[in-house]
Chains A and B, each alone.
Chain A
Amino acid sequence: MDAPEKRSDGLNEAPYVFPKWTNRIPGLVPPAFVLGLAAIVFVIWFWFSPKHTEVGYAPKQPVPYSHKLHVGELGLDCRYCHTAVEKGPIASVPSAETCMNCHTVIKHDSELLAPVREAFQTGKPIEWVRVHRVADYAYFSHAQHVNKGVGCVECHGRVDQMEVVRVTQPLSMDWCLECHRDPAPYLRPKDQVTNMAWEPEGDRRAIGEQLMQAYHVQPPTDCAGCHR
C-alpha cells in the first residue's frame, strides 16, 4: 500500500478522517451492545410482564366493601354472595338484595351504604368495578375449576385479608398453563375449596395426585381447551 501521507495520485493528503480518540469506539461497541441488549430484555421481562401490569390492580369500588371484615372476621362463606360460582362460568356479583339481607338491620343508616339502599329501592344495580379480568378470547368457567377442587385462594389470593380486593396473580396464559400442565400441587378436597386458610396435611403433591384420580382432573392444554 502507499504510505498514507504521500500519495502518488495526490488525491488525499490527510487520510485520517477521524480524530484519534475515535479509536476507542470499536472497543466500546461490544460491551455497549451486550448492555443494551440486556437492558431491553430486562425492560420487557420486568415491566411488560403481567406480573407487573396485572398484579396489584385494586380499583376503588362504589361501596367500600371489606372482604377482610365480612369473610375474615365475620366468617361469611364465599358462596353466600358469589352464588353462581359452582354452577356456571361467572362467579356472579351479589345484588343489593343480598346485602340488604343483613343491612336492613345492621348499620341500616350508614352513609357508606347509601348506594346499596338506593340500588335496593330503584332496582338499578350498583356498578361494581371488575377486578379480575380474563381476555374475551379465553373461555374460563368458575364451576369447572371449583368443582374439581381448585380453591378460590389459588387464583384470588387471601381475599379474607383484603380490605380492598386486589389482583395477586398475573392471570397470564403462562400462569394458566402452569397449573393446566401440572395441576396436582394446586388441588384440595372439594369441601375445602372456599376455605382460605386450608393447609394440606402431608405432601400437597401426593394429596393432589390422589384428588386428580378421584375428581378425574384432566385439564386441557390444547388451544381449543380455552380458545373455543
Chain B
Amino acid sequence: MSAPSIATTKIPIPPTPPDEKLVTGGLTFSDVTNLVSQVTEQKTPRNWYLAFAFSLALLGVFGVSVLWLLWEGTGVWGLQQPVGWAWDITNFVFWVGIGHAGTLISAILFLFRQKWRTSVNRAAEAMTIFAVICALMFPGLHVGRIWMAYYLFPLPNQMGMWPNFRSPLLWDVFAVGTYFTVSLLFWYVGLVPDLATLRDRAKTRTRALVYGLLSLGWRGSMRHWINYEKAYLILAGISTPLVLSVHTIVSFDFATSVIPGWHTTIFPPYFVAGAIFSGFAMVVSLMVITRQVFGFKDLVTLDHLEKMNKIILLTGTMVGYAYAMEFFIAWYSGSLYERYAFINRAFGPYAWAYWTMITCNVISPQFFWFRKFRRSIPVMFVLSIVVNIGMWFERFVIIVTSLHRDYLPGSWGYFMPTIWDIGLFVGSFGLFFTLFVLFLRFLPVIAVSEVKGVMPEADPHHHAHEEVEEKAPLRTAEAS
C-alpha cells in the first residue's frame, strides 16, 4: 500500500477500541460456521412449522383478496372519486420504503467500511428483496386488469403505442425493476461462498446437489475470492445511487403532479429518509426475533442493534424536520391551496391519521436519545413496530388527504377501506413472512464468510507491527 518513500514514516493508526468487538462470546471461525449452518441442517423445529403455517394462512388471505380483485375489478376497493389512489399505492410505497434498508446496509455501509453491517446485511438484503416483491404486487394489481400489466413496459407492439416517457409512473417501473434486479444479484453474489459452505457440509445427496448448483462451483480459491471481492465492490457501487434514486422516483409520482400536498420539492430527500427509517425499523423488528430464536446473540450483538437504532433516530428526526418544513413552505409559499391542504391535513377529517403519524414517526424515535432505550430489546422491538405503523400512516396521509379535498367542494370525499383493501394489505405481510420464513430455514441467515472477515483473527495487524509481535505474536491461536 505505502510507497517506498514513506515506508519508513510512522503513520499513527489508532488502535481498535475494545468495544468494537463485533463478535462476542469468544466464538471461533468454526463456531460461526456451525452456528449459522446448523439452522438449515437441523430437523425442522416445530416452531418453524407454526410460523410457516401462520405465514401461509396470511398468504391465503392475500390470494383470496387478489382473486376477488381480479374477478370483480378494482371496484371491490374503497376507491371512489376524488380518492383514486389509496391503500394500493400506500402499500406500494410502504413496502418499497422498507426495502431500502437492505441496500443501504449492503452497499453504502460497505463502501464506508462499516464493519458492523456484516452480521445483519444478509437478512436485511433478503428483507429488501421480499419487501420489493410485496411492493411490486400493488402497482401490478392496482391496474385492475392484470393481464394488461405488460402495458407498463415499453414493448414494441401492434398498437404503435408507448408508455408516456415523461411520466414518473414509467420511471417507477424502471427504478423499482432495476432496484429489484441489482438487490437480488447483490444478495446472491454475497450468498455464493456461504452456499458453498453448506454444500461442503451437506450430508445428503439432495442438499449437496441443490447447494452445489446454487454455489456455482465455488471452491474458495484465491482467484475466486479476488473475483468475488471485485464483483461485490462493483455491485455495491451500482447499488449506492439506487438507494437514493428509487425512492426519489417514487416520490416523483406525487411531486410532479399539481395536487396541493403532493407538489413539493422536498419530497425526494424526505421520502428517502423515510424509507431508510422504515427499513431499519423493519430490520430491527426481524433481527430481534431472529437472534432470539436462533441464538445469534453473539453475532447480532446489542452494539449492532444500537447502531441501527441510532440510524432510526437520525432518519426519524429528518422525517420530522420534513413534516415541519412542509408546513413552513405551505405558509411561506402564500398559496391558498397549499395552505389549505396542510391545515386540512392536520386538523381536517384525517387529523386522526396525521397525529398517529406524528406520534409514531417523530415522537417515538426520540426515546433513542437514551442509551438505555437504544440497548433495550423490548423497547426497540416495540418502537420499531410503532415506527413502521407510523410510516404506513405517512404514506396514507400524503396520498389520501391530498386527494380527498378536490378544488371544488362538490368533489370532496372521504375514503373508507373495504374488507378487500384490508385483506390485501394484511395478506401482503403473509407473502413477506412466507418468503422470510423460508429464507430462515434454507439459507444462511448471517453472512458467514463476511463475519469471519471482521473477526480479529482475520486481521493481520500490519500497523503497530513490533508491538503486536512482541505482545501477542500468535493472536489467531490465542483466539481459537
| A residues whose Cβ falls under 8 Å from a Cβ of B | 1, 4, 7, 9, 11-12, 15, 17-18, 22-23, 26, 45, 49-50, 170, 172-175, 177-178
Contacts and interface: CB of A to CB of B under 8 A. Distances in A.
Contacts of B208: 12, 17
A173 B201 contact: no
Contact of B216 (A11, A15, A26): A26
A89 B208 CA distance: 69
Given A18-B212, A26-B216, A26-B217, A11 B160 contact: no
A17 B159 CA distance: 51
B199 interface: yes
Contacts of B217: 18, 22-23, 26
B371 interface: no
Given A11-B200, A12-B202, A23-B217, A172 B212 contact: no
A101 B209 CA distance: 82
Chain B contact surface mostly: loop
Contacts of A172: 158-160
B200 A15 contact: yes
Nearest to A49: B158
Contacts of A11: 200-201, 203
Nearest to A1: B220
Interface string B14-43: 000000000000000010000000000000
A9 B30 contact: yes
A45 B157 CA distance: 9
A180 to B, nearest CB: 9
A133 B158 CA distance: 16
Given A12-B201, A49-B158, 6 more contacts: A11-B200, A12-B208, A172-B158, A173-B159, A173-B161, A177-B159
A172 B158 CA distance: 6
B44 interface: no
A17 B212 contact: yes
Contacts, number: 49
B478 to A, nearest CB: 19
A175 to B, nearest CB: 8
Contacts of B201: 11-12
A172 B157 CA distance: 10
Contacts of A45: 156
B5 interface: no
Contacts of B199: 15, 17
Contact of B160 (A12, A18, A23, A173): A173
A114 B201 CA distance: 85
Chain B interface residue number, banded: 20 to 34
A50 B200 contact: no
Nearest to B156: A45
Interface in B392-439: none
Contacts of B212: 17-18
B2 interface: no
B219 interface: yes
A177 B160 contact: yes
A174 B158 contact: yes
17 contacts: A1-B219, A1-B221, A9-B30, A11-B200, A12-B201, A12-B208, A15-B199, A17-B212, A26-B217, A45-B156, A50-B158, A172-B158, A172-B159, A173-B158, A173-B160, A177-B159, A177-B160
Interface in B197-218: 199-203, 208-209, 212-213, 216-217
A174 B160 contact: yes
Interface in B215-229: 216-217, 219-221
Contacts of A23: 217
A177 B161 CA distance: 9
A12 B200 CA distance: 6
B216 A17 contact: no
Contacts of B161: 173-174
A12 B211 CA distance: 14
Contact of B209 (A4, A17, A175): A17
A209 B357 CA distance: 61
B194 to A, nearest CB: 13
A136 to B, nearest CB: 16
Contacts of B159: 172-174, 177
A1 B220 CA distance: 6
Contacts of B30: 9
A178 B158 contact: no
A17 B221 CA distance: 17
A174 B157 contact: yes
Contacts of B203: 11
A134 B212 CA distance: 55
Contact of A4 (B160, B202, B219): B219
Nearest to B200: A12
A196 B158 CA distance: 27
User: 3 closest Cβ contacts across the A-B interface?
Assistant: A174-B160, A17-B212, A1-B220
Contacts of A26: 216-217
Nearest to B155: A44
A125 to B, nearest CB: 33
B433 to A, nearest CB: 32
B395 to A, nearest CB: 31
Nearest to A178: B160
Nearest to A174: B160
Contact of A170 (B156, B158, B200): B158
Nearest to B219: A4
Nearest to A48: B158
A23 B201 CA distance: 21
A11 B199 CA distance: 10
Contacts of B200: 7, 11-12, 15
A164 B344 CA distance: 70
Interface string B163-181: 0000000000000000000
Contacts of A175: 158, 160
B310 to A, nearest CB: 36
B40 to A, nearest CB: 14
B150 to A, nearest CB: 11
Interface string B219-255: 1110000000000000000000000000000000000
A4 to B, nearest CB: 7
Nearest to A11: B201
B226 to A, nearest CB: 13
Contacts of A49: 158
